[in-house]
Amino acid sequence: VKEDGRNGLRFFAPEMQAHTQRSLELAAGLKDAARKGELFLVYQPQRALGSGALVGAEALLRWRHPQWGLVSPAEFIPIAEQSGAITAIDFWVVEQAAQQLRAWDAAGLPPLVVAVNVSAAQFARPQLAEELLHILQRVDVSPQRIEVELTEAVALKHPELAETTIRRLHDMGFKVALDDFGTGYSSMSYLKRYTIDKLKIDQSFVRELAEKTSDMAIVTAIVRMAHSLHLSTLAEGVETAEQAALLHDCGCDEIQGYWYSRPLEPRAFEAFAKGLPQR
């Protein structure tokens, strides 16, 4: 590895080529991954801290690649965003989630809200809200049952368009959640500008909650501010009972994380929900 500049370059080249090759194949494969049945959703339960009730689930995308097995969304979503395949994929996710809600309703589960991740680039589509509503109408699910998660990246390129799109979603009855809250550069200005219903407090503030009084202070402040703006709060990545108890002390409304449950396939989710004490 201790090569000079020229050889160092040669040393890294094959590795980079392999990486590019995989990216290209993933990009090609993504175009019809949904049609081939390679994509599926898992659902991570969300729990209210006061009552302990199951209140919703976040839909998380999985891709079982014929050659590479399970590929992480952290790897393929950015590729889909670059290739443009993300639009069709995001719509597919919303339709799947809506159909899942109907199946769970029919199975006697409580009326849950399913949160879906919508890529930042979509918020520059002026027709996004109508497109999502249309999908729900086809499946006959109310927009009140779907929470659209967005990240701060939505406003990077087209802040005005994003503002309009988010307001339309909100006015149509969709719930809107700001994901990974606290990790970006402009979290506060988002609260002022966008019609948001919920803040998802990023896992980075939860991880060392028990060890760092500074994290307790930050989370407490976020929750207070959110509540005074009539927003609810959900903490992500809760892995221990101690974190859950501390979040309850902070006044946080909901939690999601491995402590409560990992993301589950639909049938496992249904079994999980039915195994809980009824509200």
Footprint of ligand C2E (CB under 6 A): 44, 60-61, 72-74, 77, 90, 93, 117, 119, 179-180, 237-239, 257-258, 263
Least distance in angstroms from the C-beta of 12 to ligand C2E: 27
Of 118 and 250, the one with the shorter C-beta distance to ligand C2E is 118
Helix axes 159-172 and 128-139, enclosed angle (nearest 10):
30
Distance CA 234, CA 38 (A): 30
Of the pair 117, 232, the CB lying nearest ligand C2E is at: 117
Which one of ligand C2E, Ca ion, none is in contact with 258 (Cβ closer than 5 to 8 A by kind)? ligand C2E
**Closest separation between CB of residue 216 and ligand C2E, Å?**
18
- Judge contact between 210 and 240, C-beta under 8 A: yes
Q: In terms of DSSP H, where are the helices of 67-186?
A: 73-83, 86-106, 128-139, 159-172
Judged by beta carbon distances under 5 to 8 A according to partner kind, the member of ligand C2E, Ca ion, none in contact with residue 127 is none
Q: In 3D, which of 273, 274, 252 has the Cα closest to residue 261?
A: 273
Q: Are 190 and 152 in contact (CB under 8 A)?
A: yes
**Among ligand C2E, Ca ion, none, residue 74 binds (CB under 5-8 Å by kind):** ligand C2E
Q: How far is the CB of 265 from ligand C2E (least distance, A)?
A: 13
Q: Contact positions toward Ca ion, by CB under 5 A?
A: 117, 149, 179-180, 236
Q: Is 225 exposed, middle or buried (0-12, 13-18, 19+ CB in 10 A)?
A: middle
Residue 29 or 174 with smaller CB distance to Ca ion:
174
